[in-house]
Structure 1
Amino acid sequence: MLRTLLSPRLVGLHLVTIAVLISFAFLGRWQLGVFEESGRAHVLSDPAPVELTTLVPAGERMPPESASRRVAARGTYDASRQLLVAERAPTVESGGGAATGGDDGYWLLTPLTLSDGTVTPVVRGWVPSAADPATAVPGGTVTVTGRVQPSEPTDFARRRTAPLPAGQVATVSTSELVNVWRGVRLRDGFLVATSQAGTPSPAGQAARQVAVPPPTERGGFTWRNLAYAAQWWIFAGFAVFMWFHFVRDTLRGGRPADEEGPGEDAVEGARA
């Protein structure tokens, strides 16, 4: 049997089968990778900043497609209404969700009054403690550039077991800020500042910038590629099936597949 299995013809078949299996397995894994990549979030184009007033209309909900877009807003800060957003890291989770853990500190949430009288909440930066000098609010007219974020869900605040001190909030929620900053025309969402031009901070020290991811788009799985992957692996299984049957039939014949012997008719003729 070993002599038959190692005959030149079957050795060639073994090598061809191994090459087919490796190729089909690789092609199937490649198609599976394409399928997995299609479902991942992709970074969208990040155009130049636009005016906040054109991207977030006053009195309307912020469009979902505006999340993480770069915007610019010009106005004056209202230092008397500044709030601290408690238990925050110097980053914003994708999608505007509340970010906790890590270097917990405070976001500086300051209302910015625009030229049309409307107010947009601005996260000016992050500080490690409420007594940090960078909490001082700059006066005069400032131009803030940053990324706009949707209003955060209020259920995050309900998970707290202890109330926050006065002047602190758990979320940047438009529905809650309307009740805190009474008497203002508040725009939906909030602006996370990445740069500021105008009057410097009175303390001469800027807060740490809060990082915001660029806008992303959730991919849609291309099921066709998953079917292609399964197809290649089925082909590989079929190749093994054919190899097995060919080898089995050869072994049942009792002689190497490439060995030439006298035909059956010739044997019968010799016996006669």
Structure 2
Amino acid sequence: MEAGLQSGDVVANGVRLHVVRGRREGRPAILFLHGLYDRWEIWRPAMVALAPEYDLIAPDLRGHGRSDWPESGYRLSDYVDDAIGLLDRLAAREVAVIGHSLGAVVAALVAAKDTARVRAVVLEDPALEQNDGTTEWLEMLLDAKRGTPEETYALISEMRWDRDDADWRRETEWLRGTADGPFVAMLDRLDRDVDLFTALERITCPVLLLHADPAAGGALSESGAERARQALRDGVYQRFPDTGHSIHHERPAEFVEIVSDFLRRAVLPGG
């Protein structure tokens, strides 16, 4: 793997997680958390850019990719306990957490729960809200995932009309390579009692909130972004006009630049 990245498995919270590492002994660690039906690979460009200064940790979440697919256990608290358990197993003492979508929600909850260890958080278009549109989207994805490969590809190519065939094929593979559990848990609203905005208030470290454009497919509404900004004690806000939900994919160079600058000031000694 490039940039000295290495892959392996770690058992955390009773679940085997496939983890990619970029080891830098004695450096602050970064934990990368991907979104629904993604993989660690979404972070590859950012990991390559950040490798010289940080110890990198990028798992496939439970139910995704090469990690275990338990039959149950897809509440937010399960993902949080996996992440904290992984950091414990790797003896990571000072950590920044970067998350996208579902992974951003998990990142926020990890930071709210493990305030002594988490030194900075990057929330990329966090899925803080679930509405009828979200439910319809989840139902379409689950139906397509359970269908034929051709049906899955047809939905992905329609949803991601602005991308190319390579992206469509990769996303088709990833969707089909994800357990039903994460989708079912969200559709059943198992975490309906979790107040994510209250969780944001409990985060004590600096937070970078990256807001995609709702009109271009962003998950976080304008009102939701404002509520999040008000909840954060030490927040930095960056909006990306005309940019969809996956900022790291659509604006990779800008994403890396903004995140690198934020982490350098928030995490590195003398930053």
Structure-2-length-normalised TM-score: 0.20
Structure-1-length-normalised TM-score: 0.20
Give the structure with higher Rg (CA): 1
* Higher relative contact order, structure no. (Cα contacts within 8 Å, ≥ 6 residues apart): 1
More helix by share: 2
